[in-house]
Structure 1
Amino acid sequence: MTSTPQRGASTSRTAPPRVRLVDVAREAGLSKTTVSAALNGTGRLSPAVREKARETARRMGYRPNATARQLRAGRARLIGYVVGEFAWRPWTYLESPYFAQLTSATAASALRHGYALVMLPAGSLHSEWADLPLEAVVVADPVDHRVVDDLLAARIPVVSDGSVDGRPGAHWVDVDAEEAVHGTLEHLAAQGARRTALVMSGSTTRFHREVLTAYRDWCAARGCTPRVTVTDDAGNGPAVRAVESALTAAERPDALFVVEEVSPPLVLDAARRHGYDVPGDLLVVCVSEDDTAEHTEPPISTLSLQPREIAEAGIELLVAALENGDEAPSGRLVATRLLVRESSRRPSRTVAASPQAECTSVPPT
């Protein structure tokens, strides 16, 4: 009599044997050495032989033993990735279009070079990565140097922003914040803006500090009163509140430069709620990687920080350091891109000849 298995009773299954290199060689009718060379892209093999070996391996589900390969090479080929901001909410950065693009591009670039990316929570502590066989780490937008200091002390190469310039084992990729800010403000001034308000994060990253300095310097050089509104937290809600605060100042701005990351349509909604016509009454430029900006009515001008280019440059610097064993610091500057759309153009208005003519206004209360 055959017994019926009871519900919940465990049943053992024998896992199929792992396909070995010798099995692939036997199936393909090739030597083990030939198959190994074909799969590793080495040796003098004809395209037909190389393709036959690879197709056989794929069909049989062959996968190299990663552990054995690492032991032979003495390397794990793992690159860590950590974001300095949002440490109080470790994975919040994944909701940001900028960091989402930066993260995916970093992972893709690392993989193209034969490395896997290990994502760490924002503001990672030493204990969270100390036992991982990381060969290098990307530290995006550090708010301080604790993580960078710990990694360099452990002799792990790092790529970060320009604040690490000159430190052995530290490499950097950055944007010229001053040039980006001044270029954007000059564009707005050329369109007739005289009272450009800045909405930005209260973050202490190098980028945000440089943005604020560049804005104030530009205003001082032109006799304009700085109009700065700082958000009290990350996310669309706090950013929209900051935008509304700037729009309801005693002296209404005629241009808005939003550096805090926010969904662009929400900026337009806030402007309309407070009686502004964009671009008739208010010119708008957002620092944003959000694709919705080009589909709003009117389309919103954006300043892109080029996260994909930053990611690729960072991985290239790290891979060069790892493959060459060179600890000498290196860096690269990535150009930003101002995409001018209808929200910051006033084609029907006559722009004043002198951008400084009306730049002596009273600061908002």
Structure 2
Amino acid sequence: MDITVHRPGELTAADRVAWTAMQSKAHLNGSPELANPFLSPEFTIAVGHWRRGVRIAVVREDGEPAAFFPFQRSITGVGRAIGLGVSDCQGLVHRPGFSWDARELLRACGLAMYEFDHLVAGQQPFEAGASGSFASPVMDIDQGYEAYLGQLKAKSPKFARTTHSKERRLERHHGAVRYVHDERDPEVLHTLMGWKSAQYRRTGRSDRFASSWINQLVRQLFHTRSDQFTGLLSVLYADETPVAAHFGLCSERIFAQWFPAYDPAFAKYSPGLILHLRMAEAAAADGIAYLDLGRGQKQYKDSLKTRELTVSEGSVALRHPAAIGHLARRAPVRALRNSVTSRPELFEPADKLLKRVGKMRSRKKG
């Protein structure tokens, strides 16, 4: 293998075309998850605008690109998946039949280790270092929205009926309900980010939008558009008032969910669920195969999903002091968090505690 490492701006136009072509053909080659927009050159290049150490390894065989491996590297050689902490799909994009040695790749990239938390399935050389695997629910719409709705009704007739009933009540009480699949008004994006920040605080979670680089990354991706990649803002309105919104990323075949939120004043109408059904309907019309709801246990995901993908968390490492030190700090924290989230008897009390802390914070700010 011939492996070269590049900064995002150094990637040639031909290599970008080859990368995108691998993603476009992934579903034909038995690896549809590789078409996820978080694995696209557009996402990597955007992260490179706001984070240091972003690099792309290009692996060639017989002079032609065989794989693309985006990563972030610290000055000590600790490697992380691109956008670790906000990216919901990670790994190496490759052509059919490509195999690699993880440690050989790390050495070529100048890495002591590579850390991931949403590793896409089928990456066996990296999966050898996985410490856990997790469900990532999806909504299959490749057979059309009506077929998806039929599956939903068969699984839970009451859920589908109740959600549509709440949409009718929302319209009766607050005016005509309107859905915009591709909203281009940046002020509405600002509204969504405000809702999401408030939700993080209310539930005791860390506010991602308090990080300037995430804030700027989302704004940049909102303006990123091509035939293969789009930052998509979808909004549900009631009498011209936004009541729920979502910002996510679209490739040719996958709509990756990212930042959904709604106005709490309309909570009794379940506007987030109404929004997701509208998104599925519009995405199906655009030829999208499925909506990836992302890793995490949420009741609304269980209600909307048709199946689950699997993503992994962990790391692969060389025998190197930087890797040993990093793992010594990170592994106990990760193990404790996963132990809590995977066990309902631990997760539910912890979740309630976080929400109580969140309410206390909100009162102080008020």
- TM-based fold match above 0.5: no
What interval of TM-score do these two structures reach, taking the shorter chain for normalisation? under 0.3
Q: What TM-score results when the alignment is normalised by the length of structure 1?
A: 0.27
Q: What TM-score results when the alignment is normalised by the length of structure 2?
A: 0.27
Q: Per chain length, whose mean CA-contact separation is higher, i.e. which structure has more relative contact order (CA < 8 Å, sep 6+)?
A: 2
